Amino acid sequence: MNIQNYYNQYNIMAGLKWETVDSTTETISRAKIFGGWLVSAVNDVRSPVNNGYNQPDYPTGYEWRTSITFIPDPNHEWKLDQ
């Protein structure tokens, strides 16, 4: 499942409208809620492993590290650049 499908599925379940916030390092989205914004950051990570034979690390896994926070903005004054 790609990240956009993840957010689309989450939007349906939570009834939130997520907007993409410009970022060069991770996927950041926000959803307007009472009193401010929910902000979600998702970072794609490859998990390396060392096989013990002094060979280079090889990517063996893939995961999403996620975090979410509340940004108070009662008047929803945070505007995104178009």
Q: Which of 63, 59, 43, 62 is nearest to 51 (CA)?
A: 59
pLDDT the model gives residue 61: 62
pTM of the model: 0.63
CB 20 within 8 A of CB 27: yes
pLDDT the model gives residue 70: 95
CA distances for 81 relative to 22, 37, 57, 78, angstroms: 8, 16, 40, 10
Residues in the chain: 82
Domain extents in the chain: 3-72
Give per-residue pLDDT as tens, 5-59.
665 655 555 678 888 888 777 788 899 999 999 998 888 776 666 555 555 555 5
